[in-house]
Amino acid sequence: MSGTIARPDGTPVAGVAVLLSEPDLLAISDRDGEFFFSDLGPGPYRLMFTLGPHSEVVDDVAVVAGQDREVEVVVEWPLNVAETVIVEGASRRPERIVEAPAAVSLADAVEVELQAVAGQLPRALVRAPGAEVVQADVYDFSFNTRGFNDMVNRRVLMTIDGRDPSLPGVGTQEWASFSFPFDDIEALEIVRGAGSALYGRGAYNGVVSMTTRQPRSNTGMVRMGGGELSTFRTDGLISRDLGDGWFLKLTAGGSGGDDFTVSRTDSVEYAPGQLPMDAVAPPLDRVKSLYGGVRLDRTTSGGHSMTIEGGAASVEGATTMTGLGRVQQTDSLRPWGRFNMGTERWNLMAFYTGQDSNDIVPLSSGARLFWNTYNIATELQGNTTVAGGRGRLVGGVSAGRERLDSADRDGVQTQLAQPQTASRVGVFGQIDYDFSRQLKGVATVRWDYSTVFDPRISPRVALVYSPHPLHTLRASFNEAFLGPSMVQQFLLVPAASPIDLSGIEEALQPVLGGGGGALGPRQNPGPRGGQRESGGGAGPDLRVGLSRGPGTPLVRESDLLPESAQRLHDQPTSPGWHQPGAAESRLRGLCAAR
């Protein structure tokens, strides 16, 4: 059985709870006002539609064996906009924003469309409550929520239709490499606060969830724009109904322009005496990008759906801030793919995100670095209702694998001692129950394990009280962790031009017994541990934090960013940065959000 709920003027009504009597199944109408029930036996059914204080009952909806039944319901409810806003990021299922157990914001659609012309999506998030957006170059942004931001931030997980687009092994976003027009985004949600209970690692300070539009109609778009810094950008999109439930969408585009990066080999553009000088000038003085993507959807009237999509983006000349200072990508290819299949009760997804970067140039050393990396993952998620629709269960299991290889064209490793691989698994579950029409309770727990961090358990409990359909009081406790990235574990790269330490070695010969080998490479154990956060809702933002870390490294370098601070590797011919030994970093806080 499938159906739509709309107003008399045809406007869809989202967020309506549709209760099907016997066997007591519950569905929530989506942004298009549609709902589905599958695997129903023949016979009459009773449908109850509820949204806040409004309700409607439709009796004797007959289902015939072997046939799909379609239901169209028209309601004349006097609705407020907030009553029909649907979000999915807070519970990984559709729900009204006023019933979500976490602080959720939706980016303004008009703002997203405006920023699509320039290709600077983070600017559409600037006005979100608690958001912090730091810009270092035209396409180099660091997005965070509720404090503790820096220039290399990986504390907010980002997903595109459930896929993680971050740099494999690093966890940060490369904003210049998205392969679709930003105004193809249907929903852009910002979930603030600890989110590891549902999403695992990376969701330390929140989640940014993007949902792109489904190709359900024959549409098309071509846009060209230009502006300051000799910038030019063009985007194109076309979608077609292929018949028999199949839909196709094609996207393509590109951009070019100058950036903010200037050479610092002779002088710095500001803060003389504080900014470090670079060893080499940026090899490229313009940023160029090309992208393309294809998506194929299959839907049925029974609510079954399948998506197969993929694409790639090529970026040249983008400069970003890292723990090694400014780094320019001279030739980077970012391929990706996603498969999704599901119904209203279960969903199976698998994705691939890759990076093939040649001649990455740290301006502080002039080295030539390479990355050939990928991140693959699969996740199975299911949901059901209990207690006649008053309770809802959501659960799932996920597994993934990341691989890093920094070999150059001759097979020589440029950033690692050897190729590295890490595997991970996670299991999560959530139950929310309506104690009454105004009070709902939510309990969530997730277990994560990886070969680069110890097992972690992330809980969340919340109470959501709605004294009025447009007002909600929420109290919650969340705990999240931020495990070490693979780059933090295994990175070994030159941080400056080679220097001659033979004089120091000769001076230490009597102490070292003539060995000299004490200054050679040593094993990098990497940090073990993570971060935790506790939080709650209802009130103005408040945060209290306490941190504890390991002892001071033997050699300190103030120019490094805190998250990537590493120890100088005392190798005479190729000094590099070396992580401190087994480190444990914890963070607890109290936070409140409305």
DSSP letters, 384-415, are EEEGGGTEEEEEEEEEEEEEEE-B-TTS-BSS
What's the pLDDT score for residue 35? 85
pTM: 0.77
What's the pLDDT score for residue 544? 33
Residue 509, classified by CB atoms within 10 Å of its CB into exposed (0-12), middle (13-18) or buried (19+), is exposed
Alpha-carbon gap, residue 153 to 160, rounded angstroms: 18
Please report, for residues 13, 55, 334, 559, 594, the alpha-carbon distance to residue 75 in angstroms, rounded to integers and kept in the order given: 9, 9, 47, 62, 31
Alpha-carbon gap, residue 46 to 59, rounded angstroms: 5
What's the pLDDT score for residue 23? 66
Q: Which residues contact 359 (CB under 8 A, 6 or more apart)?
A: 283, 330, 331, 368, 369, 370
Please report, for residues 29, 119, 261, 320, 592, the alpha-carbon distance to residue 143 in angstroms, rounded to integers and kept in the order given: 32, 15, 20, 14, 20
Query: What residues of the chain score a pLDDT lower than 70?
Result: 23-24, 79-84, 301-303, 469-470, 494-498, 511-594
| CA 203 remoteness from chain centre | 8
Share of the chain above pLDDT 90, in %: 39
- Backbone φ and ψ for 185, nearest 5 degrees, come out as -75, 125
What's the pLDDT score for residue 469? 67
Residue 531, classified by CB atoms within 10 Å of its CB into exposed (0-12), middle (13-18) or buried (19+), is buried
What's the pLDDT score for residue 498? 65
Alpha-carbon gap, residue 129 to 120, rounded angstroms: 19
Q: Are 37 and 29 in contact (CB under 8 A)?
A: no
Alpha-carbon gap, residue 98 to 86, rounded angstroms: 9
Instruction: Dump pLDDT digits (tens) for 116-133.
Output: 888 888 988 888 888 889
- Backbone φ and ψ for 469, nearest 5 degrees, come out as -55, -20
Please report, for residues 48, 162, 178, 567, the alpha-carbon distance to residue 564 in angstroms, rounded to integers and kept in the order given: 55, 27, 25, 10
Place of tokens 């929903």: 187
Q: Which segments of 404-521 does DSSP mark as H helices, in order?
A: 486-490, 502-507, 509-512
What's the pLDDT score for residue 418? 92
| CA 368 remoteness from chain centre | 29
What's the pLDDT score for residue 281? 94
Torsion sign over Cα 27, 31, 32, 33: positive
Place of tokens 């071509």: 222
The alpha-carbon radius of gyration of the chain (Å, integer) is 26
The two tokens of residue 77 are 């409810």
What's the pLDDT score for residue 191? 93
